[in-house]
Structure 1
Amino acid sequence: MWRVSGAIGLLVPAAVLSAIGVVLLGRVGVAVAVLIVPLSVAFVLWYPRARYDRWRWRLTDLAVELDRGVVVRQAEALPYFRIQQIDVNQGPVDRLLGLASLQVTSASASGSVTLPGIAADQAPGVRRVLLARAAAAVGGRVDGVQDAV
């Protein structure tokens, strides 16, 4: 998913800018294009894999814990009692690959976290588990946690 999104977000603009550079700058534009396009391809092949290798999340007894970052490592814990809303999201690339993301909104300064790359058929179940843990953390009923719809 990250590789496809990266390719769309980086390679298409790099190719367009390289083509414009070739037309407007001639030989200098060709030299720039010869550098930009292969570097963009290398970045799209390397970075999503590095990001995937360094992305982890888990549900503990007290919180959702995230550990991520390629250049800057970030460890974050979102306590269940701070969870306010959980949305299941699927963009076009996600749907194509049969994946979904959970957007977990919290009552903290950081706002929300995203749990990407969940199999689309498993995302509602993970959402229900998070809702149950959030309800239990604030003293609500765990059995029969239901959506409004």
Structure 2
Amino acid sequence: MDTSPALRDPRERVSPRARSLWHVTASLEGLLIAGVLLVALAVLTPVDVTWWLVLVVLALVAAYAVLVPRWRYAVHRWEVTDTAVYTQVGWWSRERRIAPMSRIQTVDHAEGPLERAFGLARVTITTASAAGAVEIAGLDRDRARHLVEELTVKADAEPGDAT
């Protein structure tokens, strides 16, 4: 009989402002892709067909910009315990990562221009793992700073060299 605890969703959510940031970035991405498609359509199709294709492309961009950020916010979670950092991300497929404190090598805090505008930041935790770094995006700026300090102290308290 297996007595190990069940894998559960991490407890913490990202900042609610992350949805707004993701709406803006999804809109910008969608408009860029739509612009490229519309230029290609203008060159490759007769003029009388282009107008309805423009409407279809814009409707798809709008749906993407509205639905994907909501879906991402429902899925993105994180948690820090005394022994590990847990993350869950994705919108189409989900990825759960667990980074033991003993494997943490570096903890980074970053804010891009759009993140700064929304008062958000991301924390990247580099580990001794072939899977790469663990990232927690969409955190409140102050919460991200405190998280970096907390993880640095906890990782430093672990014996060994994180390899």
TM-score by length of 2: 0.77
User: Is the CA contact 2:123–2:148 (under 8 Å) kept in the aligned structure 1?
Assistant: yes
| In structure 2, C-alpha distance between the alignment counterparts of 1:111 and 1:138, rounded to whole Å | 22
1:31 is matched with which residue? 52
The ranges of structure 1 where at least 4 consecutive aligned residues each deviate by more than 4 angstroms after the TM superposition are none
Query: How much does 1:125 deviate?
Result: 1.3
| In structure 2, C-alpha distance between the alignment counterparts of 1:31 and 1:57, rounded to whole Å | 43
2:90 is matched with which residue? 69
Question: Within the alignment, does 1:14 sit opposite 2:34 as a pair?
Answer: yes
Q: Percent identity between the aligned chains?
A: 34
What is the RMSD of the two structures over their aligned residues, measured on CA atoms?
Answer: 1.9
Q: Secondary structure at the match of 1:118?
A: strand
Structure 2 unaligned residues grouped into runs of 5+ = 1-20
The one-letter code matched in structure 1 to 2:25 is: S
Query: How much does 1:79 deviate?
Result: 0.7
1:144 is matched with which residue? none
Q: How does 1:1-149 map to 2 (within 5 A)?
A: 1-22=21-42, 24-25=44-45, 26-138=47-159
Query: How much does 1:11 deviate?
Result: 1.8
TM-score by length of 1: 0.84
Structure 1 unaligned residues grouped into runs of 5+ = 141-149
The one-letter code matched in structure 2 to 1:32 is: L
The one-letter code matched in structure 2 to 1:87 is: D
Q: How many residues align?
A: 140
Choose between structure 1 and 2 for higher RCO, CA contacts under 8 A separated by at least 6 residues: 2
